[in-house]
């Protein structure tokens, strides 16, 4: 069971949360199909240290950035949107 | 050695001391015409078909741990071809037809048991959507049948038909040619077949990098030295993204843990595979008598090869809801595999962005049933550099053109 530290609510159990995506910046609408496909579908899918957007869906509903290890499931830290990393 | 009643008798009389190794374990050579990364079912099948269909013998399979130690030896062994889109029906039914002759072809019993696979509908809406799926599958030439609640009850009387059942059963559909097979035997049978045709199967050999010259791959770096190769096939399932990273590109794949579990063994009580659209769980009974069951993914990226308790609990709750009689069984084991999930729940087969490199990945939660076809297609690519007509729609370019084959929405079933 993951214990995830919501930046607003503190540590809560895994079932309250939803993994959303790898963070990415949405390109402008005039880019090529390749750039758009990269944004929509391609992932680094990192083994080890990984930055992820999660939401506390079953709690405060907020999105936040989670730094987590995908191999060991160690959670390093959670950041509010815009919080300097 | 040919396996037969005679060889069994002879070895029995000799105290089982004369069985030769099923495949050779040679030292890696410096160079091969084709190198396949990943000794799961897809990689081993590709090596076998390269040798027997295309006559290529200077071929190696590199596996970082042991054969079938990835998803091929961790899955719940369901085989079926009841997919919604014609492209999927073509590839999965090709696989099922190859499976039907595989024990004979490989002289190795893969224990294919075509006991049928039943998908349940729990509401009238489920039934309507199911009728639509069944019609699409029939048009694809797949042998499926829509069943009403009475027929389902006659086939699987143990299901929860109580008036207060949380998920009422309105009917279902079955593919009678579907069923299960022995996963290890599929890996071992292909390994033995390939090795017998001269393929080098090299375990304990991890690929750690690629040699790429002017956009073309010329070989691999491994924990057992450098190996040059005319063509390279990647069949590394959950680690496909890691290999792509080494070669300098990204894939539309996310790796997740998928769990399964078995109960203690009991006498025969369930003679088909049952899946539920409401709980997402599925169950079958192995030849040993264990109930083998699972459901959805642990829905966050993972390379841990283990799942977590919340999903395990949901799987078990789902099964007990469907089969109250299983309530008193003990859980024997639970485990997870590392699955490579594509956004449209269809595989990626075709050339990689690096010349001379070919992909077979993205099978996600359902690629055991596809092993013979996935191997066939990868072999075709490695030998000819061209798509087989069946694999063409699964090319990586579909994510750019938008021609996805969205089986997640289409058939609505995993595994
Ligand atoms: C719990 C569970 C249940 C499932 N149930 C079903 C089912 O009922 N029906 C179905 O059809 N499918 C099912 N699947 C999916 C199915 O198991 C997989 O899609 C299929 O086995 C994939 O085969 P593969 O050969 O591509 O991968 P794998 O068998 O995973 O083989 C890939 C191999 O590559 C090796 N490798 C990785 N990186 C490297 C490297 N750098 N160098 C060398 N080797 C490397 C790995 O060690 C591994 O052995 C299930 C999966 C799981 C986990
Ligand atoms: Zn919160």
Domain closes at, from B287, B314, B342: B342
Best residue for ligand 1 mutational test, from B236, B247, B262 (most atoms within 8 Å of Cβ): B236
Best residue for ligand 1 mutational test, from B219, B237, B292 (most atoms within 8 Å of Cβ): B237
pLDDT at A12: 98
pLDDT at B411: 58
Task: Give contacts of B239 with chain A, Cβ < 8 Å.
Answer: 47
- Asked whether residue B265 falls in the same domain as residue B243, the answer is no
Answer whether residue B8 is part of any domain: no
Domain that holds residue A26: 14-79
Atom of ligand 1 nearest to the CA of B338: 53
Handedness of CA B72, B73, B76, B80 (dihedral sign): positive
Answer whether residue A58 is part of any domain: yes
pLDDT in tens, A17-41: 999 999 999 999 899 999 999 999 9
**How far is the alpha carbon of A18 from chain B, nearest alpha carbon, in Å?**
8
CATH number for the domain spanning A71: value is 3.30.2270.10
Answer whether residue B415 is part of any domain: no
Task: Show the low-confidence residues of chain B (pLDDT under 70).
Answer: 410-415
Answer whether residue B13 is part of any domain: no
Closest CA to B254 of A77, A47, A33: A47
d(Cα B313, Cα B54) in Å, to the nearest integer? 47
Question: What residue in A sits closest to B240 (Cα-Cα)?
Answer: A45
- Asked whether residue B168 falls in the same domain as residue B296, the answer is yes
Which ligand approaches the C-alpha of residue A59 most closely? Answer: 2
Answer whether residue B2 is part of any domain: no
Instruction: Tell me how many domains chain B contains.
Output: 2
Put residue B347 in one of left, alpha, beta given phi > 0 → left and psi -120 to 50 → alpha: beta
Q: Report the residue from A1, A50, A72 with minimal CB separation from B308.
A: A1
Task: Give contacts of A43 with chain B, Cβ < 8 Å.
Answer: 241, 250-254
Instruction: Give the closest residue (by CA) to ligand 1 atom 26.
Output: B237
B369 lines ligand 1 (CB under 6 A): yes
pLDDT at B369: 98
Answer whether residue A5 is part of any domain: no
Closest CA to B142 of B83, B97, B98, B186: B83
CATH number for the domain spanning B369: value is 3.50.50.60
Instruction: Tell me how many domains chain A contains.
Output: 1
B366 lines ligand 1 (CB under 6 A): yes
Across chain A, what does the average pLDDT equal? 96
- Asked whether residue B165 falls in the same domain as residue B311, the answer is yes
Would you call A41 an interface residue with chain B, using a CB distance cutoff of 8 Å? Answer: yes
pLDDT in tens, B130-172: 999 999 999 999 999 999 999 999 999 999 999 999 999 999 9
CATH number for the domain spanning B299: value is 3.30.9.10
Answer whether residue A7 is part of any domain: no
- Asked whether residue B322 falls in the same domain as residue B264, the answer is yes
Domain closes at, from B324, B342, B360: B342
Q: How far, in Å, is the centroid of ligand 1 from the Cα of B56?
A: 25
Instruction: Give the closest residue (by CA) to ligand 1 atom 49.
Output: B70
- Asked whether residue B48 falls in the same domain as residue B70, the answer is yes
Question: What residue in A sits closest to B255 (Cα-Cα)?
Answer: A45
- Asked whether residue B104 falls in the same domain as residue B209, the answer is yes
B250 with A43: Cβ contact below 8 A? yes
Would you call B251 an interface residue with chain A, using a CB distance cutoff of 8 Å? Answer: yes
Q: How confident is the model at residue A82 (pLDDT cuts 50, 70, 90)?
A: confident
- Asked whether residue B326 falls in the same domain as residue B372, the answer is no
Question: What residue in B sits closest to A48 (Cα-Cα)?
Answer: B303
- Asked whether residue B146 falls in the same domain as residue B243, the answer is no
Domain closes at, from B342, B369, B396: B342
B 259-318 → A contacts, CB under 8 A:
299-304, 308-310
Answer whether residue B3 is part of any domain: no
Answer whether residue B16 is part of any domain: no
Put residue B261 in one of left, alpha, beta given phi > 0 → left and psi -120 to 50 → alpha: beta
**So what's the ipTM on this one?**
0.96
B241 with A50: Cβ contact below 8 A? no
pLDDT at A84: 79
- Asked whether residue B157 falls in the same domain as residue B172, the answer is yes
Q: How far, in Å, is the centroid of ligand 2 from the Cα of A64?
A: 9
- Asked whether residue B220 falls in the same domain as residue B103, the answer is yes
Q: How far, in Å, is the centroid of ligand 1 from the Cα of A33?
A: 31
Answer whether residue B10 is part of any domain: no
Report yes or no: B396 and B381 within 8 Å, Cβ to Cβ: no
pLDDT at B277: 83
- Asked whether residue B276 falls in the same domain as residue B394, the answer is no
- Asked whether residue B236 falls in the same domain as residue B140, the answer is no
pLDDT at B412: 56
Answer whether residue B272 is part of any domain: yes
Question: What residue in A sits closest to B256 (Cα-Cα)?
Answer: A70
Domain that holds residue B274: 117-178+255-342
């Amino acid at each position: 069971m993951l214990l995830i530290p919501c930046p607003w609510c503190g540590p809560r159990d895994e079932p309250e949360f939803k993994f959303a995506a790898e963070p990415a910046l949405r390109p402008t609408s005039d880019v090529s199909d390749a750039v758009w496909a990269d944004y929509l579908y391609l992932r680094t899918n990192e083994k080890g240290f990984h930055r992820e957007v999660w939401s506390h869906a079953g709690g405060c509903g907020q999105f936040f950035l989670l730094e987590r290890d995908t191999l060991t499931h160690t959670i390093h830290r959670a950041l509010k949107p815009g919080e300097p990393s | 050695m040919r396996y037969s009643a005679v060889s069994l008798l002879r070895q029995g009389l000799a105290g089982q001391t004369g069985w030769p190794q099923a495949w050779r374990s040679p030292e890696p050579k410096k160079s091969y015409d084709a190198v396949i990364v990943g000794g799961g079912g897809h990689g081993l099948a590709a090596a076998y078909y390269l040798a027997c269909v295309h006559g290529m013998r200077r071929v190696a399979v590199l596996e970082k741990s042991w054969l079938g130690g990835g998803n091929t030896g961790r899955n719940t062994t369901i085989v079926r071809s009841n997919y919604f889109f014609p492209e999927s029906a073509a590839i999965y039914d090709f696989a099922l037809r190859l499976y039907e002759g595989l024990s004979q072809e490989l002289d190795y019993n893969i224990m294919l048991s075509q006991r049928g696979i039943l998908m349940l509908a729990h509401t009238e809406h489920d039934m309507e959507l199911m009728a639509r799926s069944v019609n699409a599958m029939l048009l694809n030439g797949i042998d499926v049948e829509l069943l009403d609640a009475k027929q389902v009850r006659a086939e699987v009387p143990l299901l929860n038909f109580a008036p207060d059942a949380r998920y009422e059963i309105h009917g279902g559909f079955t593919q009678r040619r579907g069923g299960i097979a022995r996963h290890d035997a599929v890996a071992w049978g292909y390994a033995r077949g390939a090795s017998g045709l001269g393929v080098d199967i090299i375990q304990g050999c991890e690929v750690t990098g690629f040699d790429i010259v002017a956009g073309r791959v010329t070989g691999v770096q491994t924990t057992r030295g450098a190996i040059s190769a005319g063509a390279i096939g990647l069949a590394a399932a959950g680690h496909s993204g890691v290999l792509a990273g080494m070669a300098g590109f990204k894939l539309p794949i996310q790796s997740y843990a998928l769990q399964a579990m078995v109960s203690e063994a009991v006498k025969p009580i369930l003679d088909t595979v049952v899946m539920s659209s409401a709980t997402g769980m599925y169950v079958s009974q192995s030849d040993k008598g264990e109930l083998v069951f699972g459901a959805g993914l642990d829905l966050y990226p993972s390379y841990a090869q283990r799942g977590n308790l919340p999903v395990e609990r949901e799987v078990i709750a789902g099964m007990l809801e469907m089969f109250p009689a299983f309530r008193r069984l003990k859980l024997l084991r639970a485990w997870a595999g590392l699955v490579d999930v594509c956004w449209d729940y269809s595989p990626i087969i075709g050339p990689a962005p690096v010349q001379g490199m070919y992909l077979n990945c993205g099978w996600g939660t359902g690629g055991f049933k596809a092993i013979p076809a996935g191997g066939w297609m990868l072999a075709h690519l490695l030998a000819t550099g061209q798509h087989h007509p069946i694999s063409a729609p699964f090319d990586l370019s579909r994510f750019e053109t938008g021609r996805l084959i969205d089986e997640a929405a289409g058939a609505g079933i995993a595994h």
